Amino acid sequence: MASPVAVVGYACVGVGLGTVTGLVPGLHVNSVAFVLVGVAPRVDGPAAAVASAVLAAGVVHTFLSIVPGLVLGVPDAATAPGALPGHRLVLAGRGREAIRLSALGSGVALVASVAVALPLSRVVAAGREWLLAALPFLLAVIAGLLILAEPTRRGKIGGAICLAVATALGLLTLDLPASGPLSPDGAASMLAPIFGGLFGAPILLDALDARGAIPPQDGADLGLAPRGVARAALSGVGGGTLVGYLPGVSAGVAAVLALGGAGGSGPAGRGSDRAYIVATSGADTATAVFAVASLAVLGAPRSGVTVAVAELGSGGGSAPGIGLAGMLLVIVFAAGLGVILLVVLGDRYLSVVRRLPRRPLVAGVLGLLLALSVGFAGVVGGAVFCLAAVVGLLPPRVGARRVHLMGVLLGPVALG
């Protein structure tokens, strides 16, 4: 059994790992988790301590990963209405504010989700059979609500088109054989190339033509009242329950639904962008908490990180010697450090990266995404990445939010 000192020490190592991976452009937390699934069981140390490192790395990664996303893929000011909310704030010189909004959203959501995670997981466990039976219907309703949340008729039609195309992409590619040098045995999947292609590559491809410089990021004071921050963060917690217990639902989906259609990557007004950042950050953090509770109570890992933890416990409900209370304490510890690191490192990251030549930087990140796709899923994964990138270019061209592209999972699961 691991001592508290060992658990804290390994958690600090995980915080460092999550910081590094979070600041690497294009590296998704699930990609990191796929590597951890293969590496963690081989690490020489108490299973509980290694599990704490895995959990801490996953949590801190989700905190820091917003930073490269703020400065990569920023479009010209003329095309900003179709950009992501964080990009619109960066174009207005409010990148530092976006970082602080994200930190606040995660912090508020952490407190709220830890308080409700255990009782909520027990409720879900009691109704598990009903939930599984109703899953196709629930996912279809969520997809329909996303379309209805579009503010214009064109957006609704475009959203339906994007949903249908993404569903077809999922049916075509999700079950393709995947094998790459970075994927551990039994954990290879097409998710890395699919998500890299759908949500990473299109933003970068559009940014290759952007000629304007990223303005100085001087504004750090918050443009959202404390009540608005709390409301958006708690909305993210509500959305995080969907992400934590329903397959195919992302933090972006949860935030759009929780905010009643405000924000997102479509033509919504700037006034909702701050709330959207708070809500998505809150949903990400809440999801990490609910995924751990789901593992402990249901014995079902709901994220790549909890899959790695379950492997340490030989497939059991948690890693030996740590339990739900221990896992939640590790998350709280890592999240506290994550908030500090996000603000301190985020400001410096923005200051440095905005001065780098944009086109070579964007092209380099595109190359990294393609390399990761091949690394995780082989040559077929590289081809899927390119196909997904073409599909990912569709939403802004039909006036819809990118969130409809989550149909790549929602659709196949709903169709059985």
Q: Phi and psi at residue 24, in whole multiples of 5°?
A: -85, 120
Query: Residue 93 above 70 pLDDT?
Result: yes
Buried b / exposed e along 226-256 (16+ C-beta atoms within 10 A): eeebbbbbbbbbbbbbbbbbbebbbbbbbbb
Query: Residue 352 above 80 pLDDT?
Result: yes
For 240, 256, 259, 329, the CA distances from 243, given in Å and listed in that order, are: 5, 13, 15, 21
CB 403 within 8 A of CB 252: yes
Give SS3 for 350: helix
CB 258 within 8 A of CB 243: no
Percent of the chain with pLDDT over 70: 81
Which residue has better confidence, 75 or 373?
373
What interhelical angle do 358-392 and 153-173 show, nearest 10?
80
Which stretch of 94-98, 150-154, 187-191, 299-303 has the lowest confidence by average pLDDT? 299-303
Using CA atoms, how far apart are residues 41 and 322, in angstroms rounded to an integer?
A: 15
Using CA atoms, how far apart are residues 9 and 27, in angstroms rounded to an integer?
A: 25
**pLDDT at residue 334 in the model:** 92
Of 304, 196, 192, 281, whose CA–CA distance to 234 is shortest?
281
pLDDT tens, 177-195?
A: 877 777 666 556 788 888 8
Query: Which residues have a Cβ under 8 Å from the Cβ of 132 and sit 6 or more positions away?
Result: none
Computed over its alpha carbons, how large is the radius of gyration of the chain?
A: 20
**pLDDT at residue 157 in the model:** 94
For 197, 274, 303, 331, the CA distances from 178, given in Å and listed in that order, are: 16, 38, 19, 31
**pLDDT at residue 40 in the model:** 62
Query: Residue 378 above 90 pLDDT?
Result: no
C-beta neighbour count of 39 within 10 angstroms: 13
Using CA atoms, how far apart are residues 81 and 259, in angstroms rounded to an integer?
A: 19
How do the residues of the chain divide into helix, strand and coil, expressed in percent and rounded to 5?
75, 0, 25
DSSP 213: P
Residue labelled with tokens 């054989």: 177
Which stretch of 7-21, 141-155, 183-197, 225-239 has the lowest confidence by average pLDDT? 183-197
CB 358 within 8 A of CB 352: no
pLDDT tens, 34-79?
A: 666 666 666 667 778 888 888 888 889 888 888 887 877 655 444 3
**pLDDT at residue 76 in the model:** 43
**pLDDT at residue 121 in the model:** 79
Query: Residue 305 above 50 pLDDT?
Result: yes
CB 54 within 8 A of CB 308: yes
Using CA atoms, how far apart are residues 125 and 141, in angstroms rounded to an integer?
A: 22
Query: Residue 125 above 50 pLDDT?
Result: yes
**pLDDT at residue 340 in the model:** 92
Where does the pLDDT of residue 81 fall: very low under 50, low under 70, confident under 90, or very high at 90 and above? very low
Give SS3 for 201: helix
As a whole number, mean pLDDT of residues 393-403 equals 88
**pLDDT at residue 326 in the model:** 83
pLDDT tens, 203-212?
A: 888 777 766 6
Domain ranges of the chain: 4-414
**pLDDT at residue 78 in the model:** 41
Residue labelled with tokens 């992302």: 250
Using CA atoms, how far apart are residues 31 and 45, in angstroms rounded to an integer?
A: 23
Alpha helices (H) in 127-247, listed in sequence order: 128-148, 153-173, 191-195, 201-207, 226-245
Average pLDDT, the chain: 80
Which residue has better confidence, 261 or 50?
50
Using CA atoms, how far apart are residues 37 and 63, in angstroms rounded to an integer?
A: 21
Using CA atoms, how far apart are residues 56 and 18, in angstroms rounded to an integer?
A: 7
Q: Token pair for residue 235? A: 């909305």
For 161, 259, 261, the CA distances from 150, given in Å and listed in that order, are: 13, 12, 6
Of 20, 6, 19, whose CA–CA distance to 50 is shortest?
6
**pLDDT at residue 266 in the model:** 43
Query: Residue 232 above 80 pLDDT?
Result: yes
